Amino acid sequence: MLPSARRDPQLPEVVLPDVLPWRRRILKHPRLMQSNRLAAFVLAANVVAFGCGLRNQWWIDVPNVTLIAQLNFALGILVRQQFFVNCLSRVVMRVPKSWPLRLRWALAKGYHLGGLHIGGAACGTLWFLGLTVIAVGEVASGLLLVYCVQSLLLLGIVMTARPGFRAKHHDLFEKVHRFGGWGLSVLFWTGAVLLVDEQRGDESLPAALAGTPTVWVLTLTTFSSLVPWMLLRRIPIEVVRPSSHVALVRAGRSRPMAGSTRSISRHPLRQWHSFAVIPTPGAPGFRMAVSRAGDWTGDFIDNPPSHIWVRGVATAGMANYGTVFRRVVYVVTGSGIGPVLAHVLAARVPHKLVWVTRDPVKTYGQDLVDEILTAQPDTLIWDTDAHGKPDMVKLAYSAYKSSGAEAVICVSNKKVTWSVVHGMERLGIPALGPIWDS
């Protein structure tokens, strides 16, 4: 059972302070978040490049347009590379806490670099559509056919990647993204070789390929995309189901970085889902909390497998960037406890945990609740079955003020997360939360 103080939380009367002047808070709006601004920056840079091309007429040259398109795709791919993400996270985590808060606040938004992925992919697609048009009459019919098929695949990937479509048809999005991406990689190489072969003159094909910048860009992006699949493996797991809502998974022998996420699948060519990994103090391996949120997770809970597939390496999660602050408040709902529990156990930064969930013992088990309270005795666990849903913004602000924290980190569904993050930042309080940009 929960201690009485945890079973009957009391939210004092909270009066929120005045919001920042509109000039300071306008960039805090979710539609103008850093990832969206970065995507807009990539678009603006490409517009400038296009303008320069109009002046110098280089944009009508097929090799030039091919190169700039591939550079955009390289940006979109490399910024998602697992080792790059982990390196960036570790750099930010080492930032001295003596640095000004506003600078640390800006660096804590490093996980918004996903906006470069969106911007690079979108602009690369536009350049390739233009390439297909200007290639008419300039290249052989076989190469033009390759460009046309590439353009169709790119349009299919971009259209199915739209947030609304992705949310409603996630399985189709994932299949188009994966198999379409593999098909594009083959076609990109085919197109590059055919184009070089057409224009090499008396030079040998290997020498011409070695002297073509687009080929080197393709080599880098192809290798980057292959690395996670080169690390594909099948591992045994143990599954405990404290309730029909959640499965607690124990797996592996290695100890991943606290606060990282791991993609898992029951079949390597089917659905992949990312979950936070929770290292077990003093023991090898890691744990995951899989909550019922759809057909795949429901089947996983009802019919747990004996093995799962993993690929690549565990990747640093959003909350890792919160370690740049001197003290933080973690505000989580339901299974959002998974991504945060690793930080609670690691205790990298002083913190207060606020967990809003339905009957925690019944849903997640007494052992998990005891582990949380042992690691952080002053945790506030709000049982929504007993007390209803609180005002999350006021709850976050109350915990922020009472704990003397510098920032709030929220892990919940999109609506709650954005309401809390926006609600805090419009008050001038640093806040982090998932951005659902992939």
Q: Please give the pLDDT value at position 10.
A: 61
The average pLDDT across 393-405 equals 93
- Provide the pLDDT confidence category of residue 236 given band limits of 50, 70 and 90: very high
Residue 283 pLDDT greater than 80, yes or no: no
- Provide the pLDDT confidence category of residue 4 given band limits of 50, 70 and 90: very low
Residue 6 pLDDT greater than 70, yes or no: no
Lowest mean pLDDT among 50-64, 133-147, 349-363: 50-64
Per the CB < 8 A criterion, the answer to whether 314 and 262 are in contact is yes
Lowest mean pLDDT among 209-213, 286-290, 369-373: 286-290
Measured distance CA(401)–CA(408) in Å, rounded: 10
Average pLDDT score, the chain? 88
Residue 178 pLDDT greater than 50, yes or no: yes
CB atoms within 10 A of CB 30: 15
Backbone angles phi, psi at 240, to 5 degrees: -115, 130
Going along the chain from its start, the domains and CATH numbers come out as 4-22+317-432 (3.40.50.80), 33-230 (no CATH), 233-316 (2.40.30.10)
| Higher per-residue confidence, 275 vs 216 | 216
Q: Please give the pLDDT value at position 5.
A: 40
252: left (phi over 0), alpha (psi -120 to 50) or beta: left
Lowest mean pLDDT among 7-11, 50-54, 420-424: 7-11
Q: Please give the pLDDT value at position 59.
A: 66
Lowest mean pLDDT among 135-144, 350-359, 425-434: 135-144
Q: Please give the pLDDT value at position 8.
A: 47
Residue 149 pLDDT greater than 90, yes or no: yes
Residue 167 pLDDT greater than 60, yes or no: yes
Residue 246 pLDDT greater than 90, yes or no: no
Cβ-in-10-Å burial (0-12, 13-18, 19+) of 202 comes to exposed
| Higher per-residue confidence, 5 vs 436 | 436
pLDDT digits (tens, 9 = 90+) for 18-46: 888 888 888 888 888 899 999 999 999 99
Closest CA to 250 of 280, 270, 226: 280
Residues 6 or more apart whose CB falls under 8 angstroms from that of 206 comprise none
Cβ-in-10-Å burial (0-12, 13-18, 19+) of 285 comes to middle
Question: pTM of this prediction?
Answer: 0.88
Residue 387 pLDDT greater than 60, yes or no: yes
Q: Please give the pLDDT value at position 254.
A: 74
